[in-house]
Amino acid sequence: MVAEMMKTIAIPACLVTAILLAAIRPALPNDKLHEAPESLRLNRITPRTAQELRELFRYTGEPMHLVSAHRGGLKAGFPENCIATFENTLEQTFAIIEIDPRYAKDGAIVVLHDATLDRTTTGRGLLSDLTLPELKDLRLKDCDGRATSFRIPTLDEVLKWARGRTVLVIDQKDVPVEERVRKIEEHQAEAFTILIVYNFRDARKCYDLNKAIMMEVMIPNRAKFWEFDETGIPWSNIITFTGHTQPEDPELFDMIHTKGACCIVGTSRNLDRHLTVGRAKENRGAERRYRHLLKCGVDVIETDLPRRVGRLLYGESDISASKASLFRRRQ
């Protein structure tokens, strides 16, 4: 058919080639539409090496005040653990992105928080009962339970997307530390990934497998501080999660900072619930409480509301001069 067209109509060969490529190119999932090569519209965090990532999270006494977008920061029309949602968050604030990997029936690793499909997708039952092609037929739901056009991403897709855009904080769910390390190595992603580990045994395992990988380690009190200190893992390899409330021990942040590490506190289970739409008085009180956390020594706030909390934290003076080269404001 193409040959006949060229005989009867004078069509440049280059145009014919373009037509053919367009015809055979498969339709892209909606998430892929958000992976444009240029990302000037995003507020990007851009460590290029594992050393630069460690430098990003090295405590210097200067303000950093990062937001960690819990499950990517869902909102109406934008589901949790979705590439389109990650980009929407970064359009409005600097953020690192926390995600949740799980195994499909065929061993593929997808990014979804729940072990079941009902709450966050158009599917039903256990995620582990479906293969990747079956999961890709489903659509993600937003925070109001409405189905969107977005598909469940794989961990591979998210790792490819994140390079040059942000830092991924990869939770465990049912994917062990060995497999998450393998995926990071496969994508050469040591510069822009952090693994969440829930005990010091797994922290040691991760460090022994790959000494370049950073980890988020749970250190909620003094006893855990000293227990971690005895593992021999460098403090430069970790950022500490101290809990979902301010630690009872007011000196814990100072102890961690003395080791050169930064501290994360989660607000998704409490303080975020007080930051509501249309209630100015309550919002002012909540904003003061977020800022109080920063004054007490919190460096990173993990939140379900990264767009709103980010706007509370970021101004021209909130990125220290020593780390400014790792940040790119949207243009």
**Whole-angstrom distance, CA of residue 77 vs CA of residue 72:** 13
Sheet strands (E) in the chain: 44-45, 66-69, 96-99, 101-103, 109-111, 168-170, 193-197, 214-218, 238-243, 263-266, 300-303, 327-328
Question: Among 239, 287, 281, which Cα is nearest to 53's?
Answer: 239
Is 0.85 topped by the overall pTM?
Answer: yes
Q: Distances from the Cα of 186 to the Cαs of 41, 102, 182, 190, 243, in angstroms?
A: 28, 17, 6, 10, 31
Confidence at residue 277, expressed as pLDDT on a 0 to 100 scale: 56
Fold classification of 10-99+166-328 is: TIM Barrel (3.20.20)
Catalytically annotated residue among 34, 65, 70, 274: 70
| CB burial of residue 13 (10 Å; 0-12, 13-18, 19+) | exposed
Confidence at residue 24, expressed as pLDDT on a 0 to 100 scale: 33
Q: Quote the distance between the C-alpha of residue 295 and its chain's center.
A: 25
Q: Which two tokens stand for residue 318?
A: 């909130």
113 tagged catalytic:
yes
Report the half-sphere exposure of 262 (CA within 13 A, side-chain side).
28
**Whole-angstrom distance, CA of residue 212 vs CA of residue 206:** 9
Task: Identify residue 281 by its one-letter amino acid code.
Answer: K
**Whole-angstrom distance, CA of residue 207 vs CA of residue 262:** 18
Q: How many residues are listed for the chain in this entry?
A: 331
| CB burial of residue 140 (10 Å; 0-12, 13-18, 19+) | buried
Confidence at residue 291, expressed as pLDDT on a 0 to 100 scale: 87
Q: Distances from the Cα of 259 to the Cαs of 16, 65, 234, in angstroms?
A: 63, 18, 9
Q: Which two tokens stand for residue 264?
A: 């994360």
Domain ranges of the chain: 10-99+166-328
**Whole-angstrom distance, CA of residue 314 vs CA of residue 34:** 24
Residues with Cβ < 8 Å from 325, sequence gap 6 or more? none
**Whole-angstrom distance, CA of residue 127 vs CA of residue 119:** 11
70 tagged catalytic:
yes
pLDDT tens-digit profile, the chain (331 residues): 434 443 443 444 433 333 333 333 333 344 444 444 446 799 999 999 999 999 999 999 987 789 999 999 999 999 999 999 999 999 999 999 999 999 999 999 999 999 999 999 999 999 999 999 999 999 999 999 999 999 999 999 999 999 999 999 999 999 999 999 999 999 999 999 999 999 999 999 999 999 999 999 999 999 999 999 999 999 999 999 999 988 889 899 999 999 999 999 999 888 888 776 556 566 777 888 888 898 899 999 999 999 999 988 876 556 778 898 999 999 8
**Whole-angstrom distance, CA of residue 95 vs CA of residue 275:** 18
Catalytically annotated residue among 65, 113, 244, 257: 113
Confidence at residue 321, expressed as pLDDT on a 0 to 100 scale: 82
Confidence at residue 314, expressed as pLDDT on a 0 to 100 scale: 74
Task: Identify residue 312 by its one-letter amino acid code.
Answer: L
